[in-house]
Chains A and B, each alone.
Chain A
Amino acid sequence: MRTLYYILQKEFTQIFRNKSMLPVIFVMPLIQMLVLVFAATNELRQVDVAIVDFDNSTSSRKLTSEIAGIPFFKVKQNLVNTQEAEDLLMRNKVDLALIIPQSFDKDLTLNKSSEVQILVDAINGSAAQLSLGYLSSVIAGYSQKILLKTAVPGSVMMKNIVVKPTYWFNPQLNFKYYMAPGILVVLITVIGMLLGGMNLVREKEIGTIEQINVTPIKKWQFIAGKLLPFLAIGLFDLAFGLLVARLAFNIPIRGSFLLLFGMASIYLVLVLSLGLFISTISDTQQQATFVTFFMLIVFILMSGLFTPVESMPDWAQKLDYANPLYYFVKIMRSVILKGSNFPDIINEAATLSVFAASIFGLAIFRYRKTS
């Protein structure tokens, strides 16, 4: 135990002497929380719509003004033909084009249904869906008004089902609430996977590992010496990030801190061990960085952080059972936003613990003092 204490003492001395370390510890969480949480949003700020009105009737102009009346839409009117609207779409000037046919008013007054065409720039799939949905609902609202106006009072037409949704755990559908716990996960994953591993492989690069290997230091002591300091830094950054989230976005933290930090500790042991394992099979920091980054990107994109896991194909969802981020994103969101207790997340917690223990063992096993 004394040996481990001396190793830790040495590691901390080195960490705090490293000039790039303090910025990593303090600036990285700030930037991630303050920039990424705002940037990684699915909320739409402004949608440009081109309207081609072939009909030019009272009804079509009413529809146009209905759309223009919503501050969210910026409307380009007075287009003569479809070609013009398509050009605007091509040049990224508008996101949507609404084409109202010549027979629009006639069809409506003859009490038949009428059709309009919407062209959507679907380069960004989720933005396209959102803006289309919004425009569709405006048009649906307009058609509702017409129905009410033309229908005979008391007729069947009046009956309607009104959906009143209540969004649990995030009543205002505040996207930041949803993103902040996820970004925190990315933060401590990057710290865990990169810092510990880089530290170990650096000892290989400068040759100090040779000198360590001829001392009576045991394998687990050496690995633990690389793991514990960064576990502490990871937990500190989690606390720091939560504080920023609380102050900047007023994000509710409903679950228990003890549970949150307990889970984070298990998770950090897992990712640190993974980083250390990669280091034991790499010879240079460059090699280790490449492998780690590749894994990080796969883990992050598949974690359900940005896109729901449920919309992934079946095989991808099965692959996610091996993705530590998948479990931890789930745990963080549940504990922070839902206030989940330990029994609610026991499956995820158990899986993470098994992963952590086995990868930690693997890292120790792979670190050889003899080649």
Chain B
Amino acid sequence: MIVVNELHKTYGETVALGKVSLTVKEGELFGLIGPDGAGKTSLMRILMSLLLPDGGTATMNGLDIVRDYKKVRLITGYMPGKFSLYPDLTVEENLQFFATVFGTTIQENYHLIKEIYQQIEPYKTRRAGKLSGGMKQKLALSCALIHKPEILILDEPTTGVDAVSRKEFWEMLKRLKAMGITILVSTPYMDEATICDRIALIQDGHLMSVETPLAMMQAFAEDLWAVRSKKIYHTSKLLGQLPSMISVNSFGQVLHLVTPKGKHTPQSIKEFLSLHDESELTVEPALATIEDVFILLMNNRKAKS
């Protein structure tokens, strides 16, 4: 279990973390969702005792991250955002090294990494620097797991990894969760959020919402419309002038239009657009995605400040 209590960190004028409080339950797969610079890495580095907080406390399975940092490091596995294994050592040598410095052996905890490591085992004599992005992540995860940690902290493990490897990676996380490991994972990809048990949306060092992905999507407070049109750019500009409109964002070929609850109907939106020579389009109510939730919360925050 990870308990974060009003953690605070600033870099000069910039607030990296503004009194963040959070609880990750035992055996939970918890996602930290937010854009670059939101404070995800700072939070994780503080939990890993690589960075000292300016204020607040945190415990990992009851151990204080500042006072008991040595013990914390023994029960946690960490995968930094940047690939940080030795590129000039082979796959096997890297794994061997991290096993031995934790006082264990590959054999002893092989069952933990078996499924992941088997995929890269054919390349075990290859230098880590020569692996593909997906294989590097698998090796890094193996190295983070080799000392049988109770908690796993993964900083953007899927950034820069191809779609197939990303999917595989999340499947692996689910299996690790099934083994009882508590996992805190960060990602800038909103679509990955739905795989997590619970997620926290983080922006500018503040948590905007902490919920299960489903509850978060269902609790979307405004009306959301999916607008399809041939001239998507033109339509999106026009919708920007729709009275009392909250936001328009493009999701591939579809525009997501947010309007205040009960303010508009598909008909009223169509009418507004036809006034401006836009008629070849469809407007239908849509279910909110995590990204819609994030954008709405972000706009609300901006409006407040």
Binding site for B on A (CB under 8 A): 2-3, 6-7, 10, 13-14, 17-18, 206-211, 213-217, 369-371
Contact = CB atoms under 8 A, between A and B. Distances in A.
B220 to A, nearest CB: 38
Given A6-B101, A216-B102, A211 B89 contact: no
Given A210-B80, A211-B80, A14 B98 contact: no
Contacts, number: 69
Contacts of A207: 80, 82-84
Contact of B84 (A208, A369, A370): A208
Interface stretch (B22-30, B49-57, B180-188, B255-263): B49-57
B93 interface: yes
9 cross-chain pairs, A with B, having the tightest CB-CB distances, nearest first: A207-B84, A6-B100, A207-B82, A211-B84, A214-B78, A210-B80, A215-B101, A208-B84, A210-B84
Contacts of B86: 10, 14, 208
B148 to A, nearest CB: 14
A369 B48 CA distance: 11
Contacts of A6: 97, 100-101
A17 B76 CA distance: 31
Contacts of B78: 211, 214
B74 interface: yes
B162 interface: no
Given A371-B50, A371-B51, A211 B98 contact: yes
Interface in B49-93: 49-52, 69-70, 73-74, 76, 78, 80, 82-89, 93
Given A210-B80, A369-B49, 5 more contacts: A2-B103, A14-B89, A214-B48, A214-B76, A214-B78
A92 B73 CA distance: 70
A208 B52 CA distance: 19
B89 A216 contact: no
A370 B52 contact: yes
Contacts of A17: 88-89
B141 interface: no
A215 B88 contact: no
A13 to B, nearest CB: 7
- Name A's interface SS: helix
6 contacts: A3-B103, A10-B89, A210-B80, A211-B98, A214-B50, A216-B70
- Name B's interface SS: loop
Interface string B6-39: 0000000000000000000000000000000000
Tell which of A14, A210, A211 has the most Cβ of chain B within 10 Å.
A211
Contacts of A215: 73, 98, 101-102
Contacts of A208: 84-86
Contact of B93 (A10, A210, A213, A214): A10
A371 B52 contact: yes
A142 to B, nearest CB: 69
A2 B100 CA distance: 9
Given A214-B50, A214-B76, A7 B84 contact: no
A347 to B, nearest CB: 42
B2 interface: no
Contacts of B50: 210, 213-214, 369-371
B143 interface: yes
Interface of B: 48-52, 69-70, 73-74, 76, 78, 80, 82-89, 93, 97-98, 100-103, 143
Tell which of B50, B87, B103 has the most Cβ of chain A within 10 Å.
B50
Tell which of A3, A213, A214, A369 has the most Cβ of chain B within 10 Å.
A214
A211 B143 contact: yes
B141 to A, nearest CB: 12
Tell which of A3, A14, A215 has the most Cβ of chain B within 10 Å.
A215
A17 B86 CA distance: 12
Tell which of A3, A7, A206 has the most Cβ of chain B within 10 Å.
A206
Tell which of B51, B98, B101 has the most Cβ of chain A within 10 Å.
B101
A14 B86 CA distance: 9
Contacts of A10: 86, 89, 93, 97
Contacts of A209: 84
Tell which of A7, A10, A369 has the most Cβ of chain B within 10 Å.
A10
Contact of A13 (B70, B89, B102): B89
Nearest to A3: B101
Nearest to A7: B101
B93 A206 contact: no
A171 to B, nearest CB: 51
A298 B83 CA distance: 38
A217 B99 CA distance: 12
A209 B86 CA distance: 10
Contacts of B98: 211, 215
A211 B98 CA distance: 9
A231 B213 CA distance: 56
A303 B206 CA distance: 57
B15 to A, nearest CB: 17
B80 A18 contact: no
A215 B82 CA distance: 17
Contacts of A371: 50-52
Given A10-B97, A207-B82, A210-B50, A216 B103 contact: yes
B88 A214 contact: no
A226 to B, nearest CB: 14
